[in-house]
Chain A
Amino acid sequence: MGKLIYLDHAATTPVHPKVLEAMLPYFSAKFGNPSSVYTLAQEARQAVETARTQVAEVLGSTPREIIFNSGGTESDNTAIKAVAFAQQKLGNHIITSVVEHHAVLETVHALEKMGFQATFLPVDKHGLVNPDDVGRAITDKTTLVSIMLANNEVGTIEPIADIAKVIKARAKGRKIAFHTDAVQGAGSLDLNVDKLGVDLLSLSSHKFYGPKGVGVLYVRRGGPFMTWQHGGSQERNRRAGTENVPGIVGTAAGLKLAEENREAFNKHCSALRDRLIVGVTKIERSYVTGHPTQRLANNASFYFEFVEGESILLNLDFEGVAASSGSACTSASLEPSHVLTSMGVPVESAHGSVRFTLGLENTQEEIDLIISILPGIVSRLRAMSPLSAEKR
């Protein structure tokens, strides 16, 4: 096995050397607790507040609207619960979509068990939510809409700004909070909260070359918010607990770098993505999943009939290639990807899904290697499959 070809950036990214460098002093040299009064601690406080300002600049918000926390899952949980419970007297209806990440879906399911009502909007075959469906789903009990900015499996970019307009028009002056899980959008899409028209937005640092276990929740000033984590007065009483100072510094460094590189990232990745899509779809009975144009620059996702995703991934791993699949056999739930099946991909075919997500460090040679080895892997597995023999 030669060098690693990493094509799973939607799962996680390596910490960028510049990000690591920014973080390192805050582990030992500048280890103070930001809440303390002495100079050492004030260095840490300064670092956290500088980071907050840097993140706010990327989002076009004020620093006080930024909450640092433990990652995308916490951001999604907090956004949904904080609004749902704060507005409980006004209404109990939440709107989301069937293709959200589990961090959103399971949170909403948990709220349903507590008596909230939820609407899970369908998507079309490309994974798009129709803004008019959002409008039609709104009732006078709706307090929250949560739709992701870009899908983690198929890379489809949702029409967030259009949805925001529909919500505003239908709300008729009532307050309906709009949350977007922007975890997969960072580094590729414009995260300006006013342009998007959102009231809450989730980010996860390890998806943009920052550290794992750190994230950001943007909460628009003046909006409803019920605190979930109680304790000290950190994060303006919205998220208690001593700040993860190195993680927060790394988050800001990563996001700033990602924003600076955004254009270059999109150009580099979309060229490789398109090359990969052209090359891979030469395999017979292979299909691209997601939207043909409204998709993340770094997402190339497919399914191959008559073969199972994990088997493909293991064979790719033999060649040093890291990718992922929505197959049931790669999930603990033993069910194939809810995203693919809700887009109308047949269950058998959803098992044969493979997702490649690219990064700045990937090269054309790597893409060409995938294109050269994948047909052999698929045909070897098909030769072994009882399905291909029956159906052809």
Chain B
Amino acid sequence: MYSDMVMDHFKNPRNVGSLTDADGIGTEGNPVCGDIMKIYIKVQGNRITDVKFQTFGCGAAIATSSMVTEMVKGKTLEEAMVISNKAVAEALGGLPATKMHCSNLAADALHRAIEDYQAKQKVA
């Protein structure tokens, strides 16, 4: 059902956890469809210097969360904003068709975290 890369990220998820001093936090998903992803980012000089995730969900949800954290570390905010859910799925060697909509929301969660950071910057 899943690619080897998905299974690898599911078995050994990278960057699990939270950041107590996060600069931005983003959540995506909803309890009805069964996948909720939360991404924490640390930003320094327009770059994402650290990132962590917490996910409630299936194999695809956990693997995409893990993958997006790997893809985004060290990237500028602009670079991070253009990472799409599709790109995350492709980086994992693809996902089963039924998983593309509901379980593939990690990039959206990342974008929410960046928006959260940017909103906080405006207030400050």
Nearest B residue to A312, CB-CB: B58
> B69 on the interface (CB 8 Å rule)?
no
Q: Which of A330, A336, A385 contacts B54 (CB 8 A)?
A: A385
Contacts of A347 on B, CB cut-off 8 Å? 31-32
Q: Which of A332, A334, A387 contacts B56 (CB 8 A)?
A: A387
Distance (whole angstroms) from the CB of B105 to the closest CB of chain A? 12
Q: State the CA gap A336–B30 with chains docked (Å).
A: 12
**A311 close to B62 (CB less than 8 A):** yes
Q: Which of A308, A348, A384 contacts B58 (CB 8 A)?
A: A308
**B13 close to A351 (CB less than 8 A):** no
* Known contacts A329-B103, A347-B32, A384-B13; A314 and B56 CB within 8 A of each other: no
Distance (whole angstroms) from the CB of A111 to the closest CB of chain B? 28
Contacts of A329 on B, CB cut-off 8 Å? 34-35, 57-61, 99, 102-103
Task: For the complex of A and B, list the 8 residue pairs with the smallest distance between their C-beta atoms, beginning with the closest.
Answer: A329-B58, A310-B58, A386-B54, A328-B34, A386-B38, A351-B34, A348-B31, A385-B56
Contacts of B102 on A, CB cut-off 8 Å? 328-329, 334
Q: Which of B13, B34, B38, B54 contacts A308 (CB 8 A)?
A: B34
* A364-392 contacts to B (CB < 8 Å): 383-387, 389
**B38 close to A330 (CB less than 8 A):** no
Q: Which of A328, A332, A335, A384 contacts B16 (CB 8 A)?
A: A384
Interface size class of A (residues with CB under 8 A): 20 to 34
**B62 close to A384 (CB less than 8 A):** yes
Contacts of A318 on B, CB cut-off 8 Å? 11
> B76 on the interface (CB 8 Å rule)?
no
> A327 on the interface (CB 8 Å rule)?
yes
* Known contacts A308-B35, A328-B102, A329-B102; A386 and B58 CB within 8 A of each other: no
Contacts of A310 on B, CB cut-off 8 Å? 57-59
> B117 on the interface (CB 8 Å rule)?
no
Q: Which of B34, B37, B98 contacts A327 (CB 8 A)?
A: B34
> A306 on the interface (CB 8 Å rule)?
yes
Chain B residues packing against A (C-beta within 8 Å):
7, 10-11, 13, 16, 18, 27, 31-38, 54-62, 98-99, 101-103
> A307 on the interface (CB 8 Å rule)?
yes
Q: Which of B13, B36, B101 contacts A386 (CB 8 A)?
A: B36
Question: Can you list 29 residue pairs at the A/B interface with Cβ under 8 Å?
Answer: A307-B56, A308-B35, A308-B61, A310-B57, A311-B10, A311-B58, A318-B11, A327-B58, A328-B32, A329-B34, A329-B35, A329-B57, A329-B58, A329-B61, A332-B98, A334-B101, A334-B102, A335-B33, A348-B31, A351-B31, A351-B34, A384-B55, A384-B56, A385-B55, A386-B27, A386-B36, A386-B38, A386-B54, A386-B56
Distance (whole angstroms) from the CB of B41 to the closest CB of chain A? 15
Q: State the CA gap A249–B82 with chains docked (Å).
A: 61
Chain A residues packing against B (C-beta within 8 Å):
306-311, 314, 318, 327-330, 332, 334-336, 347-348, 351, 383-387, 389
Q: State the CA gap A3–B98 with chains docked (Å).
A: 30
Contacts of B55 on A, CB cut-off 8 Å? 384-386
Distance (whole angstroms) from the CB of A41 to the closest CB of chain B? 44
Contacts of B32 on A, CB cut-off 8 Å? 328, 335-336, 347
Nearest B residue to A314, CB-CB: B59
Contacts of A308 on B, CB cut-off 8 Å? 34-35, 56-58, 61
Distance (whole angstroms) from the CB of A50 to the closest CB of chain B? 42
Q: State the CA gap A314–B37 with chains docked (Å).
A: 19
Nearest A residue to B57, CB-CB: A308
Contacts of A309 on B, CB cut-off 8 Å? 58
Distance (whole angstroms) from the CB of B56 to the closest CB of chain A? 4
Contacts of B99 on A, CB cut-off 8 Å? 329
Q: Which of A306, A336, A386, A389 contacts B34 (CB 8 A)?
A: A336
Contacts of B13 on A, CB cut-off 8 Å? 384
